[in-house]
Chains A and B, each alone.
Chain A
Amino acid sequence: MKGLFFLMSAFLLTSCAALPTIQEPTAGQAKKSVACPSPFLTEKTRFIHAIDVQAAGKTKTVMIGVTVADPATRTFSCAIMSTEGMAVFEAVSGKEGVNVTRALPPFDAPDFARNMMDDMELIFLEPAGVVAGKGVFAGGEFVCRRRQERGGWVDVVAGHEGRIQIRRYSECGALERTVNLNGNSRDAYKTIELQSAGLMGYSLMMTLIESEVVRDIPAAQK
């Protein structure tokens, strides 16, 4: 039992890591970037993406994902369907939590919905929480670090060649998710690459099929 405890403790300790160091920008770098990178949505938008699910570098399957994200209310509606059009998962997320309306196996697994909504939030919405650091990484990429209200950290990094990278860390600094976006533009969500860290890590390569701004109809006009 002591051995198991030791192993578990060792695993937990090695899972944690120091957050990447943020340095003060040089005079030249400071002139280039004064604001935090923000590719995130500013209005309610509907996306339809092809989702290439990969593990160990190989494609496992391809699905179609529909997401409606509202940055004003920080709410989501999501659906996943097969390429043949069979809906396998539908859920909405809001202040009251996640409400799953359809989940066929394996999408009915515990925590799947919550984890998926967290991933959607990471991709589409400006991170909630206070800016805890701002500067550059050793490689010269500009970064803003936020302390999440529910614990953990999120770095939004303006990489070279205009690409944006979002990294989510656990409370103890372990990297949990990495998101790569096209850039700080209207095309930011044309291709999205999400990588999940860990032993059961996976990658989602999302390619935009179509998107549109959603204008809610006032209740009186419905």
Chain B
Amino acid sequence: MIRHFCAKPICLVLFVLLVLPVWSARADDFARLRKDSARISTITADFVQKKSMKILSKPLVSEGKFYYAAPDSIRWEYSKPLKSVVLSGKGGTKRYVSSGGKMVEDKTGGAKAMQIVLGDVAGWMNGRFDSNPGFTAALREGTDTLITMTPTGKSMAGMIEKIEITIFRKDASVKSVRIVESATAETRIDFLNVVVNKNIDPSVFQVVQ
């Protein structure tokens, strides 16, 4: 029944968020972002996600934690309202969901779909922020820095209209991310407690309990 679902847009945004705290430091063009991105070795951050849809009276709030270690290890973990974990690295991509109090591997294809996206992460980590053929990226400086990503092809048709990432200019931290799926649906992610280049235990990217 449910073999495949694509969490690509949100995953893509999280890649962006991983990179931006460093990339965005006084960023005024993508070349500078590429240069700055080379400094990243690890990132740890909490996030709060607010999902708005026409069917909801108020946003559905999710919380979780995000880990990254260069060159390609990622742990993307939701703790509320439902627990789920995506691990990605050299061993491929695996997705786990909470069932009956235990974390079980989701083999429906969700992880496979995400692996395709995570394959782009190396490019993002190398600063090829504006070279993903699936999106055009525009950067605008104002009170805050705003990066707008717009799908170029049909693969995102009906899934996502644009992604907006707002960054504080004063400290280069991410202020908010807005994924616009349609006129009546969007996802906003706020990152908190971002820590860059602090050692992360390797088990974080291997173990799900």
Contact = CB atoms under 8 A, between A and B. Distances in A.
Interface of A: 46, 48, 50, 52-53, 55, 58-64, 66, 68, 77-79, 81-88, 90, 102, 104-107, 202, 209, 212, 214
A61 B2 contact: yes
Interface string B84-121: 10000000000001111000101110100000000000
A85 B2 contact: no
Nearest to A60: B108
Contact of A106 (B1, B49, B78): B1
Nearest to A59: B99
B53 A84 contact: no
A79 B51 CA distance: 12
B51 to A, nearest CB: 4
A87 B186 CA distance: 10
B10 A86 contact: yes
Given A81-B51, A106-B2, A52 B78 contact: no
Nearest to A58: B104
Contact of A59 (B4, B49, B55, B104): B104
B60 A61 contact: no
B159 interface: yes
Contacts of A102: 158, 182
Given A60-B1, A60-B108, A83-B82, 11 more contacts: A46-B55, A46-B56, A48-B60, A53-B108, A66-B55, A68-B55, A83-B78, A83-B97, A87-B53, A106-B4, A212-B57
Interface in B181-200: 181-182, 185, 187
B10 A85 contact: yes
Nearest to B106: A61
Nearest to B8: A86
Given A52-B99, A60-B108, A87-B181, A104 B56 contact: no
B154 interface: no
B127 interface: no
Given A60-B107, A202-B1, A82 B7 contact: yes
Contacts of B7: 82, 84, 86
B9 A86 contact: yes
Contacts of A53: 1-2, 108
A12 B100 CA distance: 36
B78 A66 contact: no
27 contacts: A46-B56, A46-B57, A48-B81, A50-B82, A53-B108, A59-B99, A59-B100, A61-B97, A61-B110, A64-B60, A66-B60, A68-B55, A79-B53, A84-B76, A85-B49, A86-B5, A87-B181, A90-B53, A102-B158, A104-B6, A104-B158, A105-B4, A105-B5, A106-B2, A106-B3, A107-B2, A214-B57
Interface string B140-177: 00000000000000000011000000000000000000
A27 B106 CA distance: 52
B62 interface: yes
Contacts of A212: 57
Given A59-B99, A61-B106, A90 B82 contact: no
Interface in B1-60: 1-11, 49, 51, 53, 55-57, 60
Contacts of A84: 7, 10-11, 62, 76, 78, 84
A52 B2 CA distance: 11
B4 to A, nearest CB: 6
A82 B78 CA distance: 11
Contact of A209 (B49, B81, B182): B81
